[in-house]
Amino acid sequence: MSTSMGTRDCEGCNECNTTYAGNLDHHLELQPHDWGTRYHQNTGKPFKYCKKCHTIDAESYKTAQVK
């Protein structure tokens, strides 16, 4: 994903394990997500999200949706 704010070092391709870049010379190794906790607005249950790129952890979000 490319935005005017750029990409984070934890955003990229899971297949080649590198960051997004317009040129192969600028690809860097992916860094781990920096997980934080948010709470589902309907259930109040916690789920994980990355504090850097705002990616939501699908498994914890799915669990948080269950009432």
pLDDT at position 5, please? Answer: 61
**52, two tokens:** 């850097």
Domain boundaries, the chain: 1-32, 33-67
C-alpha separations of 14 from 18, 20, 21, 26, 43 in Å:
7, 10, 14, 16, 31
Pick from 1, 3, 22: nearest CA to 13: 1
Q: pTM for the complete prediction?
A: 0.71
The list of the chain residues with pLDDT below 70 reads 1-6
